[in-house]
Amino acid sequence: MPAMFITIEIDKSVHKDQDLCNRLVSMCPVDIFEISENSQLKTIEENLDECTLCNLCIEASSDEQIKIEKLYRSDSN
Ligand code: SF4
Protein backbone atom coordinates (compact mmCIF):
# COMPACT_ATOMS: atom_id res chain seq x y z
CA MET A 1 0.00 0.00 0.00
CA PRO A 2 1.49 3.41 -0.89
CA ALA A 3 2.53 5.61 2.01
CA MET A 4 1.31 9.17 2.04
CA PHE A 5 3.55 12.06 2.85
CA ILE A 6 3.08 15.76 2.47
CA THR A 7 4.89 18.91 1.59
CA ILE A 8 3.84 22.32 2.85
CA GLU A 9 4.34 25.41 0.76
CA ILE A 10 4.44 28.75 2.59
CA ASP A 11 3.69 31.82 0.48
CA LYS A 12 6.07 34.78 0.77
CA SER A 13 3.23 36.98 2.06
CA VAL A 14 3.09 34.93 5.27
CA HIS A 15 6.55 36.08 6.33
CA LYS A 16 5.41 39.70 6.31
CA ASP A 17 2.70 38.95 8.87
CA GLN A 18 4.51 38.15 12.10
CA ASP A 19 1.25 37.74 13.97
CA LEU A 20 0.09 35.10 11.51
CA CYS A 21 3.47 33.34 11.73
CA ASN A 22 3.21 33.18 15.51
CA ARG A 23 -0.38 31.93 15.35
CA LEU A 24 0.56 29.18 12.91
CA VAL A 25 3.40 28.04 15.16
CA SER A 26 1.16 27.89 18.21
CA MET A 27 -1.93 26.38 16.57
CA CYS A 28 -0.45 23.39 14.76
CA PRO A 29 -1.14 20.42 17.05
CA VAL A 30 1.93 18.53 15.89
CA ASP A 31 4.52 21.35 15.86
CA ILE A 32 5.16 21.52 12.14
CA PHE A 33 5.95 25.25 12.06
CA GLU A 34 8.70 27.25 13.68
CA ILE A 35 10.15 30.72 13.32
CA SER A 36 13.65 30.68 11.90
CA GLU A 37 16.52 32.86 13.13
CA ASN A 38 15.71 35.44 10.45
CA SER A 39 12.07 35.61 11.59
CA GLN A 40 10.70 33.58 8.69
CA LEU A 41 8.09 30.88 9.12
CA LYS A 42 9.46 27.47 8.19
CA THR A 43 8.44 23.86 8.52
CA ILE A 44 10.21 21.33 10.70
CA GLU A 45 11.00 18.62 8.17
CA GLU A 46 11.08 15.74 10.63
CA ASN A 47 7.58 16.60 11.87
CA LEU A 48 5.90 16.73 8.45
CA ASP A 49 4.91 13.07 8.71
CA GLU A 50 2.85 13.96 11.77
CA CYS A 51 0.49 16.31 9.92
CA THR A 52 -3.10 15.29 10.66
CA LEU A 53 -4.48 17.31 7.73
CA CYS A 54 -6.65 19.16 10.24
CA ASN A 55 -6.55 22.28 7.99
CA LEU A 56 -6.20 24.67 10.96
CA CYS A 57 -3.23 26.35 9.28
CA ILE A 58 -5.12 26.76 6.01
CA GLU A 59 -8.17 28.19 7.76
CA ALA A 60 -6.01 30.63 9.74
CA SER A 61 -4.40 31.98 6.59
CA SER A 62 -5.98 33.17 3.39
CA ASP A 63 -5.66 33.07 -0.38
CA GLU A 64 -3.66 29.87 -0.43
CA GLN A 65 -0.89 31.32 1.74
CA ILE A 66 -0.36 27.80 3.06
CA LYS A 67 -0.65 24.92 0.63
CA ILE A 68 -0.49 21.29 1.66
CA GLU A 69 0.36 18.85 -1.09
CA LYS A 70 -0.32 15.19 -0.54
CA LEU A 71 2.16 12.86 -2.18
CA TYR A 72 2.36 9.10 -2.29
CA ARG A 73 5.26 6.75 -2.48
CA SER A 74 5.31 3.04 -2.86
CA ASP A 75 6.76 1.10 0.08
CA SER A 76 7.73 -1.72 -2.27
CA ASN A 77 10.72 0.19 -3.68
S1 SF4 B 1 -3.00 20.73 8.63
FE2 SF4 B 1 -3.02 20.77 10.88
S3 SF4 B 1 -1.41 19.33 11.48
FE4 SF4 B 1 -1.06 19.81 9.33
S5 SF4 B 1 0.39 21.52 9.32
FE6 SF4 B 1 -1.67 22.42 9.27
S7 SF4 B 1 -2.21 22.79 11.43
FE8 SF4 B 1 -0.46 21.36 11.41
**What pLDDT digit, counting tens, does each position of 52-71 carry?**
999 999 999 998 999 999 98
CA of 28 relative to ligand 1 center, distance in Å: 5
Q: What is the pLDDT of residue 15?
A: 95
Ligand 1 pocket, 41 CB below 6 A?
A: no
Q: CB count, 10 Å around CB of 51?
A: 20
Ligand 1 pocket, 24 CB below 6 A?
A: no
User: pTM of the entire structure?
Assistant: 0.89
- Give the domain ranges of the chain: 3-73
Ligand 1 pocket, 14 CB below 6 A?
A: no
**CATH code matching the domain that covers 3-73, chosen among 3.30.70.20, 3.40.50.720, 3.30.390.10, 3.40.980.10:** 3.30.70.20
CA of 77 relative to ligand 1 center, distance in Å: 28
Q: Across residues 14-20, what is the average pLDDT? A: 96
Confidence of residue 74 (pLDDT cuts 50, 70, 90): confident
Check pLDDT > 70 for residue 76: no
